Amino acid sequence: MPRVRRRFVWMLALAAGAVGCGRETIPAAARSFPRAPIVLISIDTLRADHLAAYGYRGGSTPALDRLAASGIVFDDAFSQVPLTLPSHASLLTGRLPTRTGVRDNIGFTLGADQQTLAARLKEAGYATGAAVSSYVLRRHTGIAAGFDFFDDEVTISGTGESLSESQRDGARTADALAAWIDAHAGGPMFAFLHLYEPHTPYTPPPSHTLAQPYDGEIAYADEIVGRFLDRLNANGLLDRAIVAVVSDHGEGLGDHGEAEHGLLLYREALRVPWIVRLPGSAHAGTRIAGAAGLVDVAPTLLALAGVPAGGMDGGPLVDAMVSRRLADRTVYSETQYPRLHYGWSDLASAFDGRYHFIRAPRPELYDLASDPGARSNLAASRGSAASAMAAWLERATAGTPAPQPAAADAEARERLRALGYATSSPRLPPAGSPLPDPKDKIATYEGVRRAQQLAAAGRDAEVIAALQPVAAREPDMLDAWELVAKSLIKLGRTKEGIDAFGKVLAIDPLKPETHLALARVYALERDGARARQHAELAAKRDPAGAYEVLAELMMDAGKPGEAAALARRSVEADPSRYMSLFLIAAALQREGNCGEAIPAFTRAIDAKRREPQAVVRNLHAGLADCLARSGREADAEREFKAEIAAIPWSPEARVGLATLLRSQSRDEEARTVLAGVVTALPQPTPDAYATVVRAFTVLGDTPAAREWTARARSQFPRDARFR
Using the predicted structure, report yes or no on whether residue 26 has a pLDDT greater than 80: no
Say how many C-beta atoms besides its own lie within 10 A of residue 683's C-beta. 5
Alpha helices in 256-328 (DSSP H): 267-270, 297-304, 320-323
Q: What is the pLDDT of residues 143-162, one digit of tens each?
A: 999 999 999 987 443 333 33
Compute the average pLDDT of residues 338-362. Answer: 95
Instruction: Map residue 169 onto helix, strand or coil.
Output: coil
Compute the average pLDDT of residues 479-488. Answer: 91
- For position 428, what pLDDT does the model report? 66
Please, what are the domains in the chain? 31-329 (3.40.720.10), 437-509 (1.25.40.10)
Using the predicted structure, report yes or no on whether residue 116 has a pLDDT greater than 90: yes
Instruction: Map residue 70 onto helix, strand or coil.
Output: coil
Alpha helices in 94-212 (DSSP H): 97-100, 117-123, 170-183
Sign for the pseudo-dihedral over CA of 537, 538, 540, 541:
positive
- For position 418, what pLDDT does the model report? 64
Q: Residue 41's pLDDT band (boundaries 50, 70, 90)?
A: very high
Q: What is the pLDDT of residues 622-676, one digit of tens each?
A: 999 999 999 999 999 999 999 999 999 999 999 999 999 999 999 999 999 999 9
The distance of Cα 668 from the centroid of its chain, to the nearest Å, equals 48
CA atoms within 13 A on the CB side of 510: 8
- For position 430, what pLDDT does the model report? 67
Beta strands (DSSP E) in 220-272 are 242-246, 271-272
- DSSP3 helix / strand / coil % (the chain, rounded to 5): 50, 10, 40
Using the predicted structure, report yes or no on whether residue 516 has a pLDDT greater than 90: yes
Q: Do strands 364-367 and 355-359 pair parallel, antiparallel, or not at all (unpaired)?
A: antiparallel
Using the predicted structure, report yes or no on whether residue 421 has a pLDDT greater than 90: no
Q: Do strands 38-43 and 355-359 pair parallel, antiparallel, or not at all (unpaired)?
A: unpaired
Q: What is the pLDDT of residues 271-323, one digit of tens each?
A: 999 999 999 988 889 999 999 999 999 999 999 999 998 899 999 999 899 88
Using the predicted structure, report yes or no on whether residue 411 has a pLDDT greater than 70: no
Neighbour-count burial for 206-245, b at 16+ CB within 10 Å, e otherwise: eebebeebbbbbbbbbbbbbbebbebbeeeebbeebbbbb
C-alpha 266/C-alpha 258 separation (Å) is 10
CA atoms within 13 A on the CB side of 82: 29
Q: Residue 17's pLDDT band (boundaries 50, 70, 90)?
A: very low
Question: Which range is least confidently modeled, 350-354, 522-526, 607-611?
Answer: 607-611
Compute the average pLDDT of residues 325-331. Answer: 91
- For position 609, what pLDDT does the model report? 82
Q: Residue 417's pLDDT band (boundaries 50, 70, 90)?
A: low
- For position 612, what pLDDT does the model report? 67
C-alpha distances out from residue 218 to 203, 222, 235, 712, Å: 11, 6, 26, 53
Using the predicted structure, report yes or no on whether residue 28 has a pLDDT greater than 60: no
Using the predicted structure, report yes or no on whether residue 432 has a pLDDT greater than 90: no
- For position 478, what pLDDT does the model report? 85
**Of 473 and 355, the one with more pLDDT:** 355
Q: What is the pLDDT of residues 226-280, one digit of tens each?
A: 999 999 999 899 999 999 999 999 999 999 999 999 999 999 999 999 999 999 9
Residues 345 and 339 sit within 8 Å (Cβ to Cβ): yes
Q: What's the CA angle centered on 623, arms 622 and 627, to 5 degrees? A: 120
- What mean pLDDT value characterizes the chain? 90
Using the predicted structure, report yes or no on whether residue 13 has a pLDDT greater than 60: no
Residues 98 and 400 sit within 8 Å (Cβ to Cβ): yes
Residues 6+ apart with CB under 8 A from 667: 661, 701
Residue 69 carries which side chain, given as an amino acid letter?
Answer: A
Using the predicted structure, report yes or no on whether residue 20 has a pLDDT greater than 60: no
- For position 168, what pLDDT does the model report? 83
Question: Which range is least confidently modeled, 427-431, 581-585, 623-627, 684-688?
Answer: 427-431
The distance of Cα 149 from the centroid of its chain, to the nearest Å, equals 19
Q: Residue 399's pLDDT band (boundaries 50, 70, 90)?
A: confident
- For position 610, what pLDDT does the model report? 74
C-alpha 171/C-alpha 598 separation (Å) is 37
Alpha helices in 609-685 (DSSP H): 619-629, 633-646, 651-663, 667-679
Neighbour-count burial for 368-402, b at 16+ CB within 10 Å, e otherwise: beeeeebeebbbeebeebbbbbbebbebbbeebee
Residues 667 and 684 sit within 8 Å (Cβ to Cβ): no
Burial of residue 653, with CB atoms counted within 10 A of its CB: 0-12 exposed, 13-18 middle, 19 or more buried: buried
Which one, of 593, 595, 566, lies nearest residue 581 by Cα? 566
Q: Residue 613's pLDDT band (boundaries 50, 70, 90)?
A: low
Q: What is the pLDDT of residues 73-97, one digit of tens each?
A: 999 999 999 999 999 999 999 999 9
Residues of the chain above pLDDT 70, percent: 90
Compute the average pLDDT of residues 55-70. Answer: 96
Question: Which range is least confidently modeled, 413-427, 459-473, 480-494?
Answer: 413-427
- For position 404, what pLDDT does the model report? 84
